[in-house]
């Protein structure tokens, strides 16, 4: 870890993020993990998948 990380950690220690922001970040991470898990298990619907584009020669 370099000095920048320590400065950022000290700033967060003095002015921590609000509880609402922490919940928002954890909620976004949870949604991403849920989508990745559903896709990994093969339960993602076929209509929601993107179609690969063919490259023009």
- Each residue's pLDDT expressed in tens, for the chain with a length of 57 residues: 789 999 989 998 999 999 999 999 999 999 999 999 998 998 888 888 877 767 666
Q: Which residue has the tokens 């849920």?
A: 34
Number of helices (H), then strands (E), in the chain? 2, 0
pTM value is: 0.66
User: In 10 A of CB 38, how many CB atoms?
Assistant: 13
């Amino acid at each position: 870890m370099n000095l920048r990380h320590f400065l950022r950690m000290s700033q967060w220690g003095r002015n921590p993020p609000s509880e609402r922001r922490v919940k928002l970040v954890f909620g976004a991470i949870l949604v991403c993990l849920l989508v990745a898990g559903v896709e990994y298990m093969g339960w993602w619907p076929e209509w929601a998948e993107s179609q690969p584009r063919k490259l023009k020669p």
